[in-house]
Structure 1
Amino acid sequence: MSEVEEFEELRPLLFSIAYRILGSVAEAEDAVQETWLRFAASSTRPASTKAYLSAAVTRISIDVLRSARVRREEYVGPWFPEPLLNDPYQDPARAVELADSVSMAALLLLERLSPLERAVFVLREVFGFGFGEVASAVGRSEAACRQLLVRARRHMADGRPRFEADRQERQELATRFFDALKDGDMGGLQELLAADVQLVGDGGGKAPQFARAVVGAQNVARLLTAVVPRLAHLDVSAEPHEINGQPGAVYRDRDGRVLQTVVLDILDGRIQTIRAVLNPDKLGHMGPVADAWALDRELKRARR
């Protein structure tokens, strides 16, 4: 097998590692590309291509994350990971770990960890790498990696996201939610929401967004039924889609450009959190992006 073929076979794994460390599709793709450049430039073939490439993409991702942390401290409003429509890496033996670790809630929880803790947790807990491979990837001893993992597990356990086990039930509830939203059915919507549900938007100061999280079933239902049906009159449509392994939708304008993504966290038969990503910088990997400000102005004119 040629170098290119070996690399392409491992590309889905490399992207999935980088995305979980970085929470960014664009940065993960850049990290994978940089990994290829280093691999192609190497004069010797590694004993294990998988171990070599996984270690390389991990180190690159750690460096990127350290600089990204500084930018995120100055971020306007809540910061969410870039929406991921499809995880390219699949492993039936680790399906549960892979699905849990890619959810928005889990990725936000990973933000609590240091870059090294995050990398160790992702490699060991999500992808099942041995401690020797993890140690080589992050440049620490196996003993140090075990300590990093203990700390990471403790942080993750404090706020471990839990979701409905039955995927079909989640999808059915999500379908009812988006149908009620489309119809402007406030009562029907409210029945699907947890009493303390939160609606949170990430616009990054580059798109219209709520000043703060909207909390409570009645408040969230009132706001959504006031805004979403009006958007439908402007030919904005919701395309149901699993996002970060959770039920959600991609909203598009009349020209098919991406306006926002919406993801639902569901537990005990109720929607606990609704996360909307509107920052255009985080939507470009899904295609052309809509002008949210122009739509907002159009919406305001329609109200008059």
Structure 2
Amino acid sequence: MSAAEEFEQHRDLLFAIAYRMLGSVGDAEDVVQETWLRLAAADARPVSMKAYLSTIVTRLSVDHLRSARVRRESYVGTWFPEPLLNDRYEGPEESAELADSVSMAALILLERLTPLERAVFVLREVFGYSFAEIAAAVGRTEDACRQLGVRARRHMDEGRPRFDADQRDRERLAARFFDALYRGDVERLREILTADAALIADSGGKAPLWGAGIFGRENVSQLLATRFRALLDIGISVEPHTVNGQPGAVFRDRAHHVLHTWAMDIVDGQVQTIRTVLNPDKLRHVGPVANAWAVLREANHAAKRQRPLN
């Protein structure tokens, strides 16, 4: 088997590592491509292709995180990772854990870690690498990696949400949720949303935004019922998708351009958080991006024509 063929066998795993490290589809693809270039330029064939490639992609991701930290600190408003519609890598026995590890909530928590803590956590907790393999990948001793892993897990455990375990249960609840939205049924929405429900968006200052977010079951249900109907009235379509391993959707305008995405956290049989990515820079990998400002103006006109909800 050629080096190129072996690389292709590992490509999805490399992307999965890089995306969890970086929270960006485009940056993860760039890191994977650079990994291939490093392999192609190597003088000798590595003994373990997986270990060699994992080391390169991890080190490139750590370097990228260090250089990107200033940009993240100056980001306008709430930062969410770029939405991932399909996680191309699935482990043999831990697909549920893999799905949760790529959730918006988990990736936001990973932002609290240092680049090395993040690398150790992703390799160990998500993909099951040994500490010997991790030590070789990050250039630290095994003891140092164990310490990094303990700190990383402590930070993650402090804030990690407890999603409903059964993916089918999540999907059934999401179907009920969207049915209530289509019907404009505020009462059913109230039943599906948790008391502390939140609708939070990432616009990066480049798309319309409802302040810092909408919070509380009553506020979220009223806004969703009103705004969703207005979007439907102007021809916005909603495509249910698994987004970052959780139930979600892609919203498109009449020209089939991407308006925004949703990813939902479902906890104890209710929708707790809806995370919306509006920043057009984070949507281009999904497809051509809509003009969100024009859609907002049209939706506002449509909302004014609606009868008040009871």
| Same fold, TM-score > 0.5, yes or no | yes
Write the mapping of 1:69-88 to structure 2, written as runs, cut at 5 A. Answer: 69-88=69-88
Identity of aligned residues (%): 64
Correspondence for 1:152: 152
Correspondence for 1:214: 214
C-alpha contact 1:97 1:125 (8 A) present in aligned 2: no
Judge which range, 84-93 or 273-282, deviates more.
Answer: 84-93
Correspondence for 1:269: 269
Matched, 1:58 2:54: no
C-alpha contact 1:260 1:283 (8 A) present in aligned 2: yes
Between the aligned partners of 2:152 and 2:96, the Cα distance in structure 1 is 19
Matched, 1:285 2:285: yes
For residue 284 of structure 1, give the secondary structure of its aligned residue in structure 2.
coil
Between the aligned partners of 1:69 and 1:296, the Cα distance in structure 2 is 32
Q: Following TM superposition, by how much is the alpha carbon of 1:252 offset from its aligned partner in structure 2, in angstroms? A: 0.6
Correspondence for 1:258: 258
Matched, 1:131 2:131: yes
Judge which range, 63-72 or 47-56, deviates more.
Answer: 63-72
C-alpha contact 2:31 2:57 (8 A) present in aligned 1: yes
After superposition, give the CA deviation of every residue in 1:258-300 in whole Å (9 maximum; x if it has no partner).
1111111111111111111111111111111111111112223
C-alpha contact 2:173 2:269 (8 A) present in aligned 1: yes
Letter in 1 for 2:115: P
In angstroms, what is the RMSD of aligned CA positions?
1.1
Correspondence for 1:14: 14
After superposition, give the CA deviation of every residue in 1:94-132 in whole Å (9 maximum; x if it has no partner).
323312211111111111111100000000111111111
Judge which range, 187-196 or 176-185, deviates more.
Answer: 176-185
Correspondence for 2:27: 27
Matched, 1:237 2:237: yes
C-alpha contact 1:94 1:127 (8 A) present in aligned 2: no
For residue 97 of structure 2, give the secondary structure of its aligned residue in structure 1.
helix
Q: Mark the runs of 5 or more structure 2 residues left unpaired by the alignment.
A: 306-310
C-alpha contact 2:56 2:137 (8 A) present in aligned 1: yes
C-alpha contact 1:82 1:283 (8 A) present in aligned 2: yes
C-alpha contact 1:262 1:274 (8 A) present in aligned 2: yes
Judge which range, 84-93 or 49-58, deviates more.
Answer: 84-93
Correspondence for 2:299: 299
Between the aligned partners of 1:134 and 1:56, the Cα distance in structure 2 is 12
Between the aligned partners of 2:122 and 2:88, the Cα distance in structure 1 is 16
Q: Mark the runs of 5 or more structure 1 residues left unpaired by the alignment.
A: none
For residue 263 of structure 1, give the secondary structure of its aligned residue in structure 2.
strand
Letter in 1 for 2:194: A
For residue 240 of structure 1, give the secondary structure of its aligned residue in structure 2.
strand
Alignment TM-score, normalising by the size of structure 1 = 0.97
Between the aligned partners of 1:93 and 1:177, the Cα distance in structure 2 is 30
C-alpha contact 2:96 2:165 (8 A) present in aligned 1: no
Matched, 1:107 2:107: yes
For residue 194 of structure 1, give the secondary structure of its aligned residue in structure 2.
strand
Matched, 1:4 2:4: yes
Correspondence for 2:308: none
Between the aligned partners of 1:81 and 1:112, the Cα distance in structure 2 is 13
Between the aligned partners of 2:176 and 2:97, the Cα distance in structure 1 is 28
Judge which range, 43-52 or 11-20, deviates more.
Answer: 43-52
Letter in 1 for 2:129: F
For residue 275 of structure 1, give the secondary structure of its aligned residue in structure 2.
strand
C-alpha contact 2:230 2:300 (8 A) present in aligned 1: no
